[in-house]
Amino acid sequence: MELETLIRICKAYRQLGWAIQEQLDHVIADDMTGDNMNPHALGEITDWLDEVYNNLGDGDLLHDVDQLHDRIREFDFSDEEECDGN
């Protein structure tokens, strides 16, 4: 990976903002629940992971990014308890 690519990925991560970065932490830790995840944030995280994936060469990191994509795809908000807002 070239330095320019790494800097672009880092800038894109920074632009996610702290709230989405925190949700990415839950994805990485495999600690996704309806209480700590937001469907919009998962879309933003997926877009960022796509950028990382498209700029990596072969290696373990590519496999790790695939696993994170799988966790997001498999997460189903309908399986979580619904909050009635009270």
The whole-angstrom separation of Cα 41 and Cα 19 is 8
The whole-angstrom separation of Cα 27 and Cα 68 is 7
Low-confidence ranges of the chain (pLDDT < 70): 77-86
Q: Residue 22: its pLDDT value, please?
A: 92
Q: Residue 10: its pLDDT value, please?
A: 93
Q: Residue 38: its pLDDT value, please?
A: 87
**Is the whole model's pTM more than 0.75, yes or no?**
yes
The whole-angstrom separation of Cα 60 and Cα 14 is 23
Q: Residue 83: its pLDDT value, please?
A: 44
Q: Residue 17: its pLDDT value, please?
A: 92
Q: Residue 84: its pLDDT value, please?
A: 41
Sign of CA dihedral 71, 77, 79, 84: positive
